[in-house]
Amino acid sequence: MLPGEDRAARRALLVCLAAGATTLLDQAVLNIAVPSMRHSLGAGAGDVQWIVAGYSLAFGLALVPGGSLGDAHGRKRFFLLGVAAFLIAGTAAATGRGPGTLITARLVQGAAAGLVNSQVIGTLQDLFRGQARGRALGLYAVTSGVATALGPPLGGALVAALGPERGWRCCLLLSAPCAILTLVLAARWLPPPRRTARDARLDILGLTLACACTLTLMVPFIRTPGSRGEALAWATGLVVLAAALSGHQRLRVRRGRRALLHPALRTSKPYLLGTAVAMAQFGATLASSLVLTVFLQEGLGLTALGTAAVTLPSALAMGVASALAWRVVRRIGPRTVSLGLLLGIGAALAGSAVALTAPTSALPLACAGVQLLTGAAAGLTVSPNQTQVLHHAPAEAAGVAGGILQMAQRIAAAVCLSAVSAVYLHSAPTPPGGSGPRSAYALASCACAGLLAVALLLSRLRTSGLGRPPSGPPAEAKDDTAGRELAVPQRCVPPGTSHGRGRIPAPPLLPDRRTEPS
């Protein structure tokens, strides 16, 4: 059931969910068709790396500028522009005849997807308040996560049914009908553009420095530096650009101008720690999925359809767990995220143990069981964590806050995909007598478990600090109970509930204390 009582807001939520599913399904569905695409186009390893990772790079680059533009000038026109560009670029990619055309189209498509998704987060924060906002953001996270998990099974089915040549092209065209429907509904149902930022002037230098920092951080993980000197040059450039961005933002604040990074975002520990949790969880999940796909196809010799069957339980479990996550939240509050991360660590370690001990004939079925646990862990983690993070975003920076959160996840994806896949690829071709792909997959799974352990530590640090109010005024502070819902146990009377002689005031944000409102 959709949150809120406003019919127009519910319609806008449906448009936002369709946009999130369309843009993220497009990336996930292509991964399993990469071998067919590479053979069809005669693309080299570097070309394939840019086709796959270039989408994430452009996606991440467009998020913060897109959020800033939406805050300053209204979101609807940029939403429509992004969906239209996404549709055109996707069609060009599906009909491309060479690696160069496909790389260019995927870069444009990624930038368009980033522009769209930054408007989605801002729109949901504009339209919903209190508990309804938490549920709306949760539905968006769930829809995006399930679309990502369904991508490999759908891609495998298309390649198996249509053959390698037409299969990968139809994978790229799969999102086109969804994009057309989203475009039509957005033109009718999205609210008219309205400016939420107090100052409509953009921080052009800040945007430029932020994009340069993102490029400098992500490119070395997409195209590995050829020498230590080149790697050191990239690292030095990143430090210099980050220092320049930080100094520029402080200077704008002192001069009373609108900064790209709102002061409330830079000083809110719950926002920063929650973003770090999302980075580690997102990176570990994507890296684990990629390594599993490679292991099943190249290590065990499964077909694309067989690989899709193994990964399908993850999508199903995530959908079910996400639907039940809010009941868990009402009972244990923000610790729901920690519970999901703990389950994810157990799933990763179980995958490692299965790879080393299970018989070859039973290994695909055992991996499918592990994927069931992995999906359940993600369902308990993603949407509650995102709701907690964005609760600390002020209204005038809602789009930028969502953009930074998603950009951080894209950066984590680039870093973790490169690092964990390198662990697998360097361990798989072992000398004679070695354990081969099994030990390589087990080692990569342990690396993912380590990333989730870091996320668990950060989540516990964030939970212990939620009793303090966030820096700066949160969005719609008088009515916003999204974060309180995560913090108040079920036994407590909900904020604003009629009770006898009057209405009970909302209790303070106390995540780990059983307080009864008086």
Closest CA to 85 of 214, 175, 192: 175
pLDDT at position 356 is 92
Per-residue model confidence as pLDDT tens digits over 286-319:
889 889 988 998 888 888 778 888 988 988 898 8
User: Hey, what are 48's tokens?
Assistant: 């394939």
Kindly state the percentage of the chain with pLDDT values over 70. Answer: 86
Report, as an integer, the average pLDDT of 317-334: 86
**More confident call, 503 vs 175:** 175
Report, as an integer, the average pLDDT of 268-288: 91
Per-residue model confidence as pLDDT tens digits over 119-132:
998 898 888 877 78
Per-residue model confidence as pLDDT tens digits over 155-189:
888 888 888 888 889 988 988 999 999 999 999 99
Report, as an integer, the average pLDDT of 191-213: 79
Q: Map out the domains of the chain as residue ranges.
A: 1-194, 268-492+507-518
Q: Is the pLDDT of residue 482 over 60?
A: no
Is pTM, for the whole model, over 0.85? no
Tell me the average pLDDT of the chain. 81
Query: Can you name the CATH fold of 1-194?
Result: Growth Hormone; Chain: A; (1.20.1250)
Q: Is the pLDDT of residue 377 over 90?
A: yes
**More confident call, 504 vs 450:** 450
Does domain 268-492+507-518 sit in CATH 3.20.20.80? no
Q: Is the pLDDT of residue 486 over 90?
A: no
pLDDT at position 197 is 61
The stretches of 76-162 forming alpha helices (DSSP H) are: 76-94, 99-127, 130-162
Report, as an integer, the average pLDDT of 359-371: 93
Closest CA to 134 of 476, 508, 500: 476
**More confident call, 230 vs 137:** 230
The stretches of 255-360 forming alpha helices (DSSP H) are: 263-267, 269-294, 304-332, 335-357
Selection from 65-69, 181-185, 423-427, 507-511 with the highest mean pLDDT:
181-185
Closest CA to 384 of 63, 117, 139, 149: 139
Three state DSSP letters for 198-212 = CCCCCCHHHHHHHHH
Q: Is the pLDDT of residue 66 over 70?
A: yes
Q: Do domains 1-194 and 268-492+507-518 have the same CATH topology?
A: yes
Closest CA to 154 of 463, 146, 63: 146
